Amino acid sequence: MAILRSGYKLRNFGLLLLRVGIGIMFILHGWPKLAGGPARWEAIGNSMGVFGIGFAPVFWGFMAGFAEAVGGFLILLGFFFRPACILLLLTMLVATTKHMVAGDGFGGYSHALEAAILFLSLLFIGPGKYSLDSKVFPKDKGRRTRKYFA
């Protein structure tokens, strides 16, 4: 197969596929939370009680839906990519902790934990060449890089 012999020439295309797929999934998970209104936000925001944060559950619930829906859209576009990864990473860490403390077992928290690992990894990798970040915030081409020879 050609893809196995191509080295990593298609890594930016792979990142694009990953961003689009994960972005769509998080938009679909986050939109119902946003559209649910204050009653739904409060129910979601009560998860912060796990950390001893009992104030403003409506705000925290809204922020969870916002992070998933808007963060998913930003991931899809590759725009403000790292801030979106941070928002989604934090949201997934809260979800993981909530499910662990509730005793939901590995099946209950594994999805959120996997997503947290994904967003932590993407934070280091970046959005790739086919992203709005690479167009809007291009790397400084005039910067000299050091080359070391062994």
**Angle formed at CA 129 by CA 116 and CA 17, multiple of 5 degrees:** 55
Res. 144 pLDDT band, cuts 50 70 90? low
Q: What is the pLDDT of residues 4-26, one digit of tens each?
A: 777 788 899 999 999 999 999 99
Residue 46 has pLDDT above 70, yes or no: yes
Amino acid at 43: A
- How many Å apart are CA 18 and CA 24, to the nearest integer? 10
pTM: 0.85
Query: Please, how many CA atoms are within 13 Å of residue 112, restricted to the half-sphere of its CB?
Result: 19
Burial status of residue 81 (CB atoms within 10 A of its CB: 0-12, 13-18, 19 or more):
buried
Q: What is the pLDDT of residues 71-88, one digit of tens each?
A: 999 999 999 999 999 999
> Residue ranges per domain, the chain?
13-128
